[in-house]
Structure 1
């Protein structure tokens, strides 16, 4: 998937495009209604299979409304900071890319035919929350409630069931839903109830302390198992990229005649999905041609090129010009020419010495072949496997398809048995 025009905050790992951080399930912790005596629950996991979806984050769980008499919520929170400051001067909002078909189906308890959990319908509405202040701790260890800024989005049940106005249909394709939000879409709430914006103060996303994903019953409107698979979370710059990818924003911000959309194909570098976009050619209101802005780096680069060229010419003149030629033009003193040759020679030797030093340092820190640290360390995450299993782990397709756990280390004895015995 292309991140052109946005700043990626979180994306499939292990090495997403900078400055994005990879999704990690251990960055999240559950904040469910069990803290109030409810039975809703949630968890996160990283997709490992199939390969095209590897690294995406699954937010899943079960939303119950019966235990608390119609109320209920399940959420996963994270205090992992965004890789960039979400200043309103630099960004206009967030973009959330959700895979239409999640690779995980949350188990559902037996039902008599009614919707599980006591709600009127399945879970389709979710909330993205941002807290701009750190909650204080009560004497019993529980966190006190603070004002939370919430943006709600609804997953369509089909291509014709589009109810969310922030769904970007220009970027939505066969595999992904794309939701765009502006900072004005984030509304203040306190313990699930709206707060007067004048009382809550100004929303400042640059001071984000904690952010989370939530499934809420909305007073028994929805309940049951849910699973949302997130591909990426991106920040939308304040420049024209947001308008260029949102037909509604273009129509409202620039009420001029538009030409026919020109489709482009963006190739997903990670999962090889075609991610369609639409660019709108909007004529300039003044009819003049815009001038391309040039960055200051171009001028600095040109100045550095001139300086390096003059330095090189001066160095050559110092090293090779005969004495009588220099004296004839009025240059009576200059450094000894030996330095013109000694400095480059010593520099080359210093480079070779650095290589030799690093090679020696690596050789010194490399453990012997018989050391156990070559096959294990303190960060190991060994997958428990029975040596009596007749089927190879990677031949068990059913187990791979249903697995959403993080990456594991295989015991060396198991690897040796499968490879050599």
Structure 2
């Protein structure tokens, strides 16, 4: 994903076409992401978003430490910039093309408000919209509908939050966290793309942590429409120059 204000507009193209014609810019988009780990609270977790040309895959990886903060901890990568905005109101959700995972649960987060930093240099808290997912180890396409994102404030669900402003999304992040001490250690999530998409007619349900409820299944298994029929824009977020088609 690249900020709307600086991305040149292009017509619909495939990731393979962009990869062959813009090989030298393969990892440009990684520069638009930075770490946001629990070190800001005195923790020891760390993360990175890495790619290795000519591969079209980016890897969100690192180590989640839960000992330093007494059972808690988080490691995340987020988009940079304070004045970037995405208008995603014409779409139904985000599609993550995961090629390999490690069996751990991850969180995708959106923000529609960023406040100036406090005098001590720390970011001020605002509402986050979170979607938890646990992709298959062999990879799958995970579709997160806007309605599946839950509003939270400082880690707690906020039921009275105003709706997510889909015309003004200002930050996107990937997070690994402990989920109350249930996971820790090294983690690795490999992706080809994160893109906005129209939803097919499906019964797709988000991942649920409660084992008594129906668990997450891949987009391929629960939709009648093949993945390549999904209407997508911002294909190839790794390439860093795909605008909204």
Note the 1:8-27 alignment, pairs <5 A: 13=19, 24-27=29-32
Any idea what SS the aligned residue of 2:200 has? helix
Match of residue 48 from structure 2: 43
State the Cα distance separating 1:100 from its structure 2 match. Answer: 2.1
More strand by percentage: 2
Note the 1:74-85 alignment, pairs <5 A: 74-79=75-80, 81=84, 85=87
Any idea what SS the aligned residue of 1:76 has? strand
d(CA) in 2 for partners of 1:178 and 1:23?
Answer: 23
Per-residue CA deviation, residues 231-258 of structure 1 (Å, 9 max, x unaligned), is: 1112122xxx622xx4x26xxxxxxxxx
d(CA) in 1 for partners of 2:27 and 2:196?
Answer: 15
d(CA) in 1 for partners of 2:176 and 2:225?
Answer: 34
State the Cα distance separating 1:123 from its structure 2 match. Answer: 6.3
Distance 1:66 1:202, change over 3 A: same
224, 245, 263: which one pairs with 2:185? 224
State the Cα distance separating 1:145 from its structure 2 match. Answer: 1.0
Match of residue 210 from structure 2: none
Note the 1:399-418 alignment, pairs <5 A: none
Larger radius of gyration: 1
Match of residue 148 from structure 1: 128
Match of residue 153 from structure 2: 190
* Matched residue count: 191
Q: What TM-score results when the alignment is normalised by the length of structure 2?
A: 0.69
Distance 1:123 1:220, change over 3 A: farther
Match of residue 86 from structure 1: 88
Per-residue CA deviation, residues 182-239 of structure 1 (Å, 9 max, x unaligned), is: 111110111221111x2x10112221111110001011010010111111112122xx
d(CA) in 1 for partners of 2:20 and 2:163?
Answer: 36
Contact 1:23–1:55 (CA<8 Å) still a contact in 2?
A: no
Match of residue 8 from structure 2: none
State the Cα distance separating 1:278 from its structure 2 match. Answer: 5.1
Any idea what SS the aligned residue of 1:34 has? helix
d(CA) in 2 for partners of 1:187 and 1:73?
Answer: 18
Contact 1:14–1:22 (CA<8 Å) still a contact in 2?
A: no
Distance 1:278 1:132, change over 3 A: same
Distance 1:123 1:279, change over 3 A: closer
The answer to whether residue 105 in structure 2 is matched with residue 125 in structure 1 is: yes
Q: Report the aligned-residue RMSD.
A: 2.9
Contact 2:27–2:51 (CA<8 Å) still a contact in 1?
A: no
Distance 1:85 1:215, change over 3 A: same
More helix by percentage: 1
Any idea what SS the aligned residue of 1:24 has? helix
Any idea what SS the aligned residue of 2:92 has? strand
State the Cα distance separating 1:44 from its structure 2 match. Answer: 1.1
Note the 1:329-348 alignment, pairs <5 A: none
Any idea what SS the aligned residue of 1:206 has? coil
Contact 1:79–1:209 (CA<8 Å) still a contact in 2?
A: no
Distance 1:31 1:279, change over 3 A: closer
d(CA) in 2 for partners of 1:96 and 1:68?
Answer: 30
Match of residue 386 from structure 1: none
State the Cα distance separating 1:15 from its structure 2 match. Answer: 5.4
Any idea what SS the aligned residue of 1:242 has? coil
d(CA) in 2 for partners of 1:71 and 1:13?
Answer: 39
